[in-house]
Chain A
Amino acid sequence: MVEWTDFERATIADIFSRMQYEVVGPAALARCLIVYPWTQRYFGNFGNLYNAAAISGNPMVAKHGTTILHGLDRAVKNMDNIKATYTELSVLHSEKLHVDPDNFKLLSDCLTIVVAAQLGNDFTGEVQAAFQKFLAVVVSSLGQQYH
């Protein structure tokens, strides 16, 4: 069971309540596909991913980025039981999508950087620590059904 301090709960709730999922999601996914191009292996049917501009403007990337953030939202709303919340998603990513779980960390780093740009100086060291702890739990939960 993950222990969350009051500060961590409040910080996560605050960050996500202020977030525009349809801006942050696409930006984070696009950044991940650009900075770690091997992650494109999972998006063969997304059309034009030839360069940064194409990726940033790709509507399928945008749509999927938003989907991912809505998936994260489920963890935000179930912070005391992220593991159970993500059991099905973990099976999906492992059995159907065959995503190397190392990729979850790559996306999570990109999400941190996008959120940092959004929040500016509000993204203090303590806020970053809470946010990264939350993402680490998400990443771990998404990996738990792999075998």
Chain B
Amino acid sequence: MSLSAKDKDTVKLFWAKVADKAEEIGSDALSRMLAVYPQTKTYFSHWKDLSPGSAPVNKHGKTIMLGVADAVASIDDLNAGLLALSELHAFTLRVDPANFKILAHCILVVLSIKFPKDFTPEVHVSLDKFLAALARALSEKYR
């Protein structure tokens, strides 16, 4: 299920539309993930405040979306573009890769809320594939 030329164009076009809301999207997606999938909170036991819209959640949501933006820019070679992030997740963070799917779903839900007209089924499928490819690149160094 690799990204076709059409998928890449769709992702880049859609990203251009939503990029200026990236921080909000990241913060909302992360807040949602912590609420809907409480087991994900285990990765953030070092935060004082895990509530939606809290400072650590907002900051980390922004960090994540900057990573997604990097991925969009490296869409033609995600493994190369995300190498450093893959090493970080593999050796330092050791996030179980199942959680990438969970966060991806939350990002899609937020996009559906914020961009109901633009997040068509065609955009949805390309983005879903892109986020899956991103997750694979992020898991590249795990073992």
User: Which residue numbers of A lie inside 8 Å of B, CB to CB?
Assistant: 30-31, 34-35, 52, 55-56, 109, 112-114, 116-121, 123-126, 128-129, 132
Task: Give the interface SS of chain A, mostly helix, strand, loop or mixed.
Answer: helix
- Can you add 8 more A-B contacts, CB < 8 Å, to A55-B121, A125-B35, A125-B36? A35-B124, A35-B128, A113-B124, A116-B112, A116-B113, A120-B113, A120-B116, A126-B35
Is B35 a contact of A129 with CB atoms below 8 Å? yes
1/0 per position for B30-46, CB-CB distance to A under 8 A? 01101110000000000
B105's nearest neighbour on chain A, judged by CB, is A109
Is B113 a contact of A117 with CB atoms below 8 Å? yes
A31-B116 contact, Cβ under 8 Å, with A125-B35, A125-B52, A128-B35: no
Instruction: Tell me, yes or no, whether B109 is within 8 Å of chain A by CB.
Output: yes
- Compute how far the CA of A120 lies from the CA of B32 in the bound complex, rounded to whole angstroms: 14
Is A30 a contact of B121 with CB atoms below 8 Å? yes
B32-81 with Cβ < 8 A to chain A: 32, 34-36, 52
